[in-house]
């Protein structure tokens, strides 16, 4: 088993240019030689600046928050996977619940985005997760497996190896709520089992699976202690360097 410990920061629509530069510099300075892979996902206009700040740091990576499902064309305001690759992005986040909910991203669209990212040579952080209603109806496992099957598991074995899965219980994003460590572990275990069924147990055991539901320093220790939680896709806590670095340190020591 060679799972990568990872903390990925999704800045969403936050930070001016100068604020983003300062935050990225604080993170890069604070990471040091951590064994944890650190991923920074700033808004598009900061990608090149953050890439320059990261420089040759071997354990810090650049991610974009989204890409378009086509390689080029008349799509005003959009950005392609090849464009992201050209400015030095290593990863792209696909399928975030905010994109699914606010921009009506469909399973077919997400599968196309995954294909574009893979073709461009980007690694993918693929998000999946259920609503509160689905959780209360005990349909959460079936819904998450369906999301993976319909938008991700069409990849070949050599391609799925470059995918990180992020489980984000939609009811715990931006609400201050958090899945219990037991709930997070149970879902991560189900996701790993689904990967094993679709590919192989070896690929499943090597797959990095992140928790993406209001993870912060106060609850990170219990979450990271779970055997199938390999790190976090961090929202609000990624906007403050001290909090984000604390999460990286907690993941390193767990």
Catalytic residue positions, numbered: 96, 168
* DSSP strand pairing (6-10 vs 123-128): unpaired
- Please count the residues of the chain: 254
Rounded to whole angstroms, the Cα distance separating 35 from 181 reads 23
Rounded to whole angstroms, the Cα distance separating 181 from 89 reads 32
Rounded to whole angstroms, the Cα distance separating 24 from 50 reads 6
Q: 144 is written with which tokens? A: 């998450």
Rounded to whole angstroms, the Cα distance separating 222 from 215 reads 10
């Amino acid at each position: 088993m060679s799972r990568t410990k990872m903390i990925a920061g999704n800045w969403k629509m936050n930070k001016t240019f100068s604020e983003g530069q300062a935050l990225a510099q604080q993170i890069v300075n604070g990471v040091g030689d951590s064994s944890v892979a650190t991923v920074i996902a700033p808004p598009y206009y900061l990608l090149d600046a953050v890439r320059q700040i990261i420089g040759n740091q071997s354990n810090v990576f650049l991610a974009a928050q989204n890409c378009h499902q086509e390689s080029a064309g008349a799509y005003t305001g959009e950005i392609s996977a090849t464009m992201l690759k050209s400015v030095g992005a290593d990863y792209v986040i696909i399928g975030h619940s905010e994109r699914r909910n606010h921009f009506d991203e469909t399973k077919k669209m997400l599968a196309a985005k995954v294909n574009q990212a893979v073709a461009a040579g980007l690694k993918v952080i693929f998000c999946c997760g259920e609503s509160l209603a689905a959780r209360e109806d005990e349909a959460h496992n079936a819904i998450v497996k369906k999301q993976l099957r319909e938008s991700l598991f069409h990849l070949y074995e050599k391609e799925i190896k470059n995918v990180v899965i992020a489980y984000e219980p939609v009811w715990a994003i931006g609400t201050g709520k958090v899945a219990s460590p037991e709930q997070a572990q149970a879902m991560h275990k189900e996701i790993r089992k689904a990967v094993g069924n679709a590919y192989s147990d070896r690929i499943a055991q090597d797959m990095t699976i992140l928790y993406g539901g209001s993870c912060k320093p106060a609850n990170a220790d219990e979450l990271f202690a779970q055997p199938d939680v390999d790190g976090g896709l961090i929202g609000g806590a990624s906007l403050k360097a001290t909090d984000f670095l604390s999460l990286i340190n907690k993941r390193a020591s767990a």
